[in-house]
Amino acid sequence: MNTVALLGSTLGLGFLAGIRLYATVLAVGIAIRFGLLRLNDHARGLEALADWRVLTIAGVAFLAEFFADKIPWVDSAWDAVHTFIRPVGAALLAAAALGDMDPAMRTSLAILTGGVALTSHSGKAATRALVNHSPEPFSNVALSLMEDAAIPFGVWLATAHPVITFVAVVILVALTALFVRIAIGALRKSFGAMRRFFSGAPA
């Protein structure tokens, strides 16, 4: 596997893990266990995800996240808790996938993957925080279902078309970073307006 393809598959899974860590682990593990995903020599470490114990834990965590992510503000609390869990989980996935690589290179790619996961996690969290300001719950549920559906597709894309995935991840990371900056500004204005309203201060 060439360097770009290797980066594409690794960073692609990292980006997905930043959005849905447990779903990503579960999807990859199931695909390996049932022969839907053939691992190259560099990624043999991911075979551990097909172990029934890993699948069981990932499945239980996925179910908990599936329901928590559909409830306004509960999803934001869940995201806050996972601010460190998702990037670290993504970095561990990368380290496992690159098990036979030079240790310095493996560590560097694991850190990079964790950074990509932190970016996608931040974009997800910022989006949910903005949507939660809406009084209706349907947009929240719709976004969550879209994320659920995107994980299997993303896993397939990252493993079947890693070069395309690499290009997509580079673009998505840049757009997400820009969006997060805009979203933080909008949230600050919103919370500032709320504070002024409840304190009786003039707008």
pLDDT at 1 over 70: no
**CA distance linking residue 180 with residue 175, whole number of Å:** 9
**CA distance linking residue 94 with residue 98, whole number of Å:** 6
φ, ψ for residue 70 (rounded to 5)? Answer: -95, -5
To 10 degrees, the CA torsion angle through 96, 51, 88, 144? Answer: 130
φ, ψ for residue 35 (rounded to 5)? Answer: 75, 20
Phi-psi region of 73 (alpha: psi -120 to 50; beta: other; left: phi over 0): left
pLDDT at 121 over 70: yes
Per-residue model confidence (pLDDT) at position 59: 97
For the segment 82-104, the average pLDDT, to the nearest whole number, is 89
Say what the pTM is. Answer: 0.88
- pLDDT, the chain, mean: 88
% of the chain with per-residue pLDDT over 90: 61
The domains of the chain are located at: 3-199
pLDDT at 32 over 90: yes
Confidence of residue 50 (pLDDT cuts 50, 70, 90): very high
Per-residue model confidence (pLDDT) at position 10: 92
Per-residue model confidence (pLDDT) at position 101: 81
Torsional sign, CA 68, 136, 180, 200: negative
Nearest to 150 by CA among 162, 158, 160, 139: 158
User: pLDDT tens digit string along 156-199?
Assistant: 999 899 999 999 999 999 999 999 888 887 767 765 555 655 56
Confidence of residue 37 (pLDDT cuts 50, 70, 90): confident
**CA distance linking residue 79 with residue 167, whole number of Å:** 26
Nearest to 26 by CA among 157, 161, 155, 162: 155
Per this entry, what is the length of the chain?
203
**CA distance linking residue 122 with residue 114, whole number of Å:** 12
